[in-house]
A and B are shown apart, each in its own frame.
Chain A
Amino acid sequence: MASQELPGRDSSAVAPRAEAGGRERERIDHDASLGSFARRRHRKLAVAALTTVAIALLPLVIHDVYLQNIIVLTLMYAALSQSWNILGGYCGQISLGHAIYFGIGAYVSTLLFVHAGLTPWLGMLIGGVFAALVALALGYPFFRLRGHYFTIATIVVAETGLLLMLNWDFAGGAQGIQIPYGPDSWAHLQFARDKLPYVYFALGFALLTWLVTFLIEDSRWGYWWRAVKDNAEAAESLGVVVFRSKMAAAALSAFFTAIGGSFYAAFVSYIDPDSVMGFQLSLLIALPAVLGGIGTLWGPALGALVLIPLTELTRSYFGGSGNGLDLIIYGVLIMVIALARPEGLTSLFGRTRKARATPQARANPEARANP
């Protein structure tokens, strides 16, 4: 069946020469179109490279440990939300239980380090794979169902995980685990005094998840996921296996979220169930993407840039978390976005360019269509 003729190619045999000339022009047009698409992609890469360099230079100006701490957390949540965005934003499967993957990453690498001396670099890979398997096990029954069953299931499963960890004594129970201090070392991801290495790790993590998303955007999975999100039945009619697509998105999303958990454990060197598996964390992972622009390349980073410094500042101003104030802030933010700008903050940037481009395209649509 693959041997069938391509529409758009085989008519040249019967077409008069003038038409063949027209085809030649169209062909060049397609190359131009592919070229401008490639250039747009390259520009995005350039912007990401410049942003990365700028952030990498930031610690030269900002020496304050508290502020560096905020930079680390902002980058980490940008990366986490970017990971969440793969499943929630591109594939349209809203998870409000990503804390479980984060927690798995945190616990797996920490337990392996504390009890077996395994470097967190390996621990985070193992945690990532384990989280991906859990995501697959969760998706298997629930991705077949329509409606909001999946979202509800993610909450329930994450809460179950939390209860499990609270009662699992070997993993520290409600007390949690303290990672014993050693000398500063990249191999152990331990830096007692200097926060700088964490800034660079978090930056690398954010860049990695951005790059993965960037590559996905122009790949089979990326197109399939958006098709699944927009209209699953139409997607199936075009050969997209919806169930498999969702499973792949869930596994990849969980994998990177767990990496973030492992990193966080090394960063704070103390974990307990509430801080690495609580519901609040699930919200904090989803929110930057929702705020910045769900299913967009820059949305999660932009959202994290606004949200994380804000929550950190209010937290230090009003005292520790747990008084529910952060939750109120998140709730208000979500409502404001939903009412004012459902597409998220990135739409602030896209709007002007689109407004300029559209009338042009409108004014002259036939010129290119019928040369």
Chain B
Amino acid sequence: MSARLLEVRNVTRRFGGLVANADVSLVVDEGEILGLIGPNGAGKSTLFNLIAGLYPPSSGSIVFAGEEITRLSAPARCALGIARTFQVVRSFDSMSVVENVVVGALMRHAGAREARLKALETLELTGLIGRANAPAVALTPPEKRRLEIARALATHPKLLLLDEALAGLTPSEAREGVELVRRIRERGITIVMVEHVMEVVMPLVDRAVVLDLGKVLAQGLPAELVRDERVIEAYLGARHRAA
């Protein structure tokens, strides 16, 4: 059951002089929920962008489902089964909610009617069905986050990358979000979720990787990590730096 789905090998990404990811290596097994945590600016979103193909790494390689994808375009990776949400939501604002999801559904359904049905089913799963015909611009911020998830899910991913999908939610909204993530996993979809609030993710994930200053600082079971001195230090350090 624990076949390897994703392997990130010694990936480095530079932006000019800044090293956003430094020699990052990690693996994701099929069916698991992996937490990717770390203070702001640690390089989590950058790593997502590299996995999803928004831009290529400066060096290193990425293997997905046994296939080397390091130089593949983002749409080609989507076709292979990688879907992602963006930390800053990017809804298609000239379209309705259901049409936003249709765009994702068209990845596997050639016909517009089929894609629409699939989109409605996905909205039902994500609890947005009541807003299906609303313009995407009219959604509240938490609804927009769920729309991002719905859109990504509609592409039939094997791997779903969630970038702070639970950020900025009220406690009850966050609980619903956690429920949604569980339901998605029950469907056999592997999940990597970025979250920088540890309290939210730790109960949810099977395993976590901690990034700090672009490097993998630690990885392991959530229970171990929350007691790990280096992890606590990184978080406290970041808080001090921010203060």
Contact = CB atoms under 8 A, between A and B. Distances in A.
Interface stretch (A93-101, A114-122, A186-194, A234-242): A234-242
Interface of A: 1-2, 4-11, 26, 29-30, 33-34, 37, 218-220, 223-224, 226-227, 229-231, 233-242, 295, 358, 361, 364-370
A8 B184 CA distance: 10
B22 interface: no
Q: Place the interface of chain B in its size category.
A: 35 or more
Q: Do most interface residues of chain A lie in helix, strand or loop, or is the interface mixed?
A: helix
Contacts of B128: 369
A80 B102 CA distance: 29
A4 B154 CA distance: 12
Contacts of B99: 223, 226
Contacts of A4: 81, 156, 158, 188
B226 interface: no
Interface stretch (B6-14, B32-40, B114-122, B167-175): B114-122
B121 A239 contact: no
Contact of B112 (A218, A235, A238, A242): A218
Nearest to A229: B94
A226 B112 contact: no
B186 A11 contact: yes
8 contacts: A4-B156, A7-B184, A33-B120, A224-B103, A239-B75, A241-B75, A295-B94, A361-B134
A248 to B, nearest CB: 14
A1 B156 contact: yes
Given A6-B118, A237-B74, A369 B127 contact: yes
Interface stretch (B82-90, B193-201, B203-211, B228-236): B82-90
A243 to B, nearest CB: 9
B107 interface: yes
Nearest to B102: A223
Contacts of B155: 238-239
Given A2-B156, A9-B121, A361 B94 contact: no
